[in-house]
Structure 1
């Protein structure tokens, strides 16, 4: 095998990575319907390169969503290793909420009926469910997290809490999610002296 095909593959991978990063940024500021040129200008590639890798807008949106889901899922083990269980869970949920809340127009696009998005709910649960289960189990093991909530329940609850609310900015969602996460914590036992 010559170096030329390898170089082409490496260039193509760099272009895809640049397009995904640019799309993430543009979707967060201008929404998922932003002009293709805004994305390609930021990525430093031509519009033809965008359409070669992502022939339909839905292909790009799906790829951005999947890479975002992957990043949140992959953060789980690192957070578990670096923080006590309740704090690791809190930080992970904040990342997940950030993924959901910062993509303007994403919810509408995903619920548009486009066949390109049909597999995303399964991908979402398959990638995020196990990561969240590990975080919840660690919190249950040390007694800091309640034991009557499943990972899928938490995923669905956070997803609902991050749905766009007219007239509210992303900080609103962060506050509501923080209240929810506080509700996942097991209250510290009160001593008889405090209870009296």
Structure 2
């Protein structure tokens, strides 16, 4: 039985985060064959540090993808604490579109990971469904969003928006489509009962 590694020291955690951030950008912009040394250099770490965290290219790609997924999903709680639920959802939609753009950019690298036998997408739907569900419930509880919406319907709609606006110069159109989607989610919302 192998023991689970303990928590990373602060400097090691920062190095890991920097590596993952640079890796997403590198794989998205330069493709799956970008040199690992290039990623290490851009992250400001040595190759040995990168390999200590990610022993293979596939491990780095998978971790970079999962890190982006966690970031977008975990941002829902922070957005809800800083904004009204409907506005939090709209801001989260922008983050989700950006996440899908990064995922699309990493598509070739992710295919190589899948071909190696790994499944980087194992938790994707559950995590996204939970994040969207949290935002929708908060909006419905506040009377700002309709209460009868399936989180996966919203997720698939967002994926469709990302797909049809993936060409360069289409980000403004994506924003307009997200505004329309939010208007649809507001339609039929009921104000919460006022306390007696």
Q: Please classify the TM superposition score into its range, dividing by the shorter chain length.
A: 0.7 to 0.9
Identify the residue that residue 30 of structure 2 maps to in structure 1: 30
The answer on whether the counterparts of 2:129 and 2:151 sit within 8 Å (CA) in structure 1 is: yes
Deviations 1:115-174 (CA, angstroms, capped at 9, x unpaired): 554152x31123222222121012122332233321122222222332376743451444
Unaligned runs of 5+ in 2: 1-5, 191-196
Identify the residue that residue 73 of structure 1 maps to in structure 2: 73
- State the shift of 1:87 in Å: 0.7
Output the aligned Cα RMSD: 3.1
Identify the residue that residue 184 of structure 2 maps to in structure 1: 183
Q: State the TM-score, normalized to the length of structure 2.
A: 0.74
Q: State the TM-score, normalized to the length of structure 1.
A: 0.74
Identify the residue that residue 3 of structure 1 maps to in structure 2: none
Q: Give distance in 1, aligned partners of 2:102 and 2:131.
A: 21
Q: Give distance in 2, aligned partners of 1:182 and 1:111.
A: 36
Q: Give distance in 1, aligned partners of 2:161 and 2:118.
A: 21
Identify the residue that residue 85 of structure 1 maps to in structure 2: 85
The answer on whether the counterparts of 1:29 and 1:104 sit within 8 Å (CA) in structure 2 is: no
Q: 1:178 to 1:115 in 2, by over 3 A?
A: farther
Q: 1:33 to 1:140 in 2, by over 3 A?
A: farther
Q: Give distance in 1, aligned partners of 2:116 and 2:164.
A: 23
Q: 1:12 to 1:77 in 2, by over 3 A?
A: closer
The answer on whether the counterparts of 2:94 and 2:175 sit within 8 Å (CA) in structure 1 is: yes
Q: Give distance in 2, aligned partners of 1:65 and 1:72.
A: 11
Q: Give distance in 2, aligned partners of 1:72 and 1:166.
A: 18
Q: 1:108 to 1:182 in 2, by over 3 A?
A: farther
Question: 1:97-136 counterparts in 2 under 5 A?
Answer: 97-103=97-103, 105-111=105-111, 113-115=114-116, 117-120=118-121, 122-136=122-136
The answer on whether the counterparts of 1:33 and 1:105 sit within 8 Å (CA) in structure 2 is: no
Larger Rg: 1
The alignment of Structure 1 onto Structure 2 pairs a total of residues equal to 182
The answer on whether the counterparts of 1:59 and 1:116 sit within 8 Å (CA) in structure 2 is: no
